[in-house]
Amino acid sequence: MNKRINFEDTIFILNVRIRMLRDLLHLDTEPNLFLRQAIGDVEFTGSVLATLTEKFLENIKFLDRETEADNLSDAEWQFNQLLSEIQNNTGIFSQENFPEVQSWVDKLKKDSIKRQKMIEDSCVPMRQTVTEPVVSHAELNGLLGSE
């Protein structure tokens, strides 16, 4: 894999894949045709999100780190929504077609929630430093000649 990942485009493609999988849950499709591929797509999406999170956490010098964090966190949220829909699905991911669906989704959700927390935690110090004044009150008074 390249050392440099285009987060914006990668997250866009992941969101498209998630929407496709969510659409699959609402259609009356033949499970024998789509189940194996859908499982692979869900696992692939989780794997790419894990890689993106890892690369994001490694690189603290993103120009627009907070925006990237929001985009990545939103993709994780979309993925979590998909997982919730899979748990409640009576179609392709039903217990009859995929008996281990509950434990499989539980693991994926746990991993996703862990990644979201790591993303959020990595941005907290950035937000705190932004709120601190750049110039102290004494320096401001000195600059304005108000002493």
User: Exposure of 69 by Cβ count < 10 A (0-12 exposed, 13-18 middle, 19+ buried)?
Assistant: buried
| 77-86 pLDDT tens trace | 999 999 999 9
| 10-23 pLDDT tens trace | 999 999 999 999 99
The domain of 63 spans 7-144
Supply the CATH number for residue 48's domain. Answer: 1.20.1050
- What pLDDT score was predicted for residue 127? 45
Residue 105 within any structural domain of the chain: yes
Residue 60 has pLDDT above 80, yes or no: no
**pTM metric for this prediction:** 0.78
- What pLDDT score was predicted for residue 94? 85
- What pLDDT score was predicted for residue 23? 93
Q: How confident is the model at residue 147 (pLDDT cuts 50, 70, 90)?
A: low
- What pLDDT score was predicted for residue 3? 60
Q: How far apart are CA 70 and CA 126, in angstroms?
A: 13
Residue 98 has pLDDT above 60, yes or no: yes
Q: CB within 8 A of 46, min separation 6: which ones?
A: 79, 108, 111, 112
Number of domains in the chain: 1
Q: How far apart are CA 29 and CA 137, in angstroms?
A: 66
Residue 2 within any structural domain of the chain: no
